[in-house]
Amino acid sequence: MKDLNIGLIGYGFMGRAHSNAYRKVNQFFKLGYRPVMKAACARDGAQITEFADNWGWESVETDWRKLIARPDIDAIDICSPNVTHHDIAIEAAKAGKMVLCEKPLAMNAAEGRAMVDAIEKAGVANMVWFNYRRVPAIALAKQIMDEGRIGRVFHYRAKYLQDWTISAKVPQGGATLWRLDIDVAGSGVTGDLLAHSIDTAIWLNGPVEAVTAMTETFIKEREVQGQPGTLKPVGIDDACAFLVRFRNGSIGTFESTRYARGRKNQNTFEVNGENGSVCFDLEDAHRLQYFDHGDVSHLHGWRDLLVTDSDHPYMGHWWVPGCVIGYEHTFIHAVADFLTGLETGVAVQPDFRCALQTQLICDSVLESARSGQWVKVPEA
Ligand code: SOE
């Protein structure tokens, strides 16, 4: 088995999710590579040392440029806020390192294009962590659609709903609330949540041709975290709804908000085809609803598939049928797929170019919300 030395940048929510994945992946997947947790990096020396001790990183750095320059690092994993992705990815690619980057790829598509150019010029392995592709029930929906079971698709319907920003007292910025600061996040729910829905949609249902959108920012000013009394205008979209025309002739609706009281992380989609439908809700993540019009008519009804059998995607690596897995496993699956890609030479998806396509759709959505016009989505 070959070692793959990882240098991780960032120690927040995603730093934890990725660290856990590196620790577990070889226990559950037979692979030709083993990720070695060489170094974790962040500006705050005390915080990153505590993080590294907790998760088992061998060393720490406080300057990402030094991390990239280290000859003992093979792959850079970017878990720091969106505003940092562009510079780190380009520098890492120039240094010949593999790059794994959290979603969304960049602050906007212009940055994303520069990142794709650098990555492809360097010819380094790369992946963007759209982890929901690795939910077994979503991967099963993909299998069902690829097998042609639902037939020609007419409708795609997605929602991504949360409720954690409703209070006007929630500040913006800082280590924990940078997602609310336009200068660090690039956009609001469009880049943070709808990017997930879009990635899933283009994976399942193919390219998007055009979009028309509306956005809203409900709270217009928020305090800057760590600076009591300092208010800053809110530049992000708190909510976004858009319509889509897919290249395959189907039409779609997408909605996202952080103001849906009671919805914590409800990521759903339903696809309606000529011969059947599939329907998924992340808050019931081990289930996939499937309707087959081919069933004898007196047995027509939605099937509630419990996606835990060993012949369901990824599930053969886990427990016995009926024992569910969770959110953190999607990141373990992502690492396993990345390492398998290195072994087989078949690049893992979504790579940077694929994530640029999602970024272009996000940019088109925001442009349409500003102009009130339909926007044709450019090609990555
Ligand atoms: C935002 O609250 C967030 O943490 C996103 O940034 C993640 O990508 C999503 O999976 C869960 O919600």
CA dist., res. 6 & res. 75, Å (int): 5
H-run or E-run covering 73: none
Q: What percent of the residues of the chain are helix, what percent strand, and what percent coil, each to the nearest 5? A: 40, 25, 35
Report which protein residue has its CA nearest ligand 1's atom 10: 193
- The pLDDT of residue 221 is 98
Q: Which atom of ligand 1 is nearest to the CA of 195?
A: 8
pTM for this prediction: 0.98
For residue range 320-370, list pLDDT tens digits in order. 999 999 999 999 999 999 999 999 999 999 999 999 999 999 999 999 999
**Ligand 1: centre distance to CA 186 (Å):** 15
**Ligand 1: centre distance to CA 14 (Å):** 9
| Beta strand 266-273 pairing with 276-281 | antiparallel
- The pLDDT of residue 270 is 99
- The pLDDT of residue 232 is 98
- The pLDDT of residue 179 is 98
- The pLDDT of residue 366 is 99
Q: Which residues of the chain have pLDDT under 70?
A: none
Count of other CB atoms within 10 angstroms of residue 232: 17
What domains lie within the chain, and their CATH numbers? 2-130 (3.40.50.720), 132-375 (3.30.360.10)
For residue range 217-245, list pLDDT tens digits in order. 999 999 999 999 999 999 999 999 999 99
**Ligand 1: centre distance to CA 276 (Å):** 30
- The pLDDT of residue 211 is 99
Whether the CB of 102 sits within 6 Å of ligand 1: no
- The pLDDT of residue 197 is 99
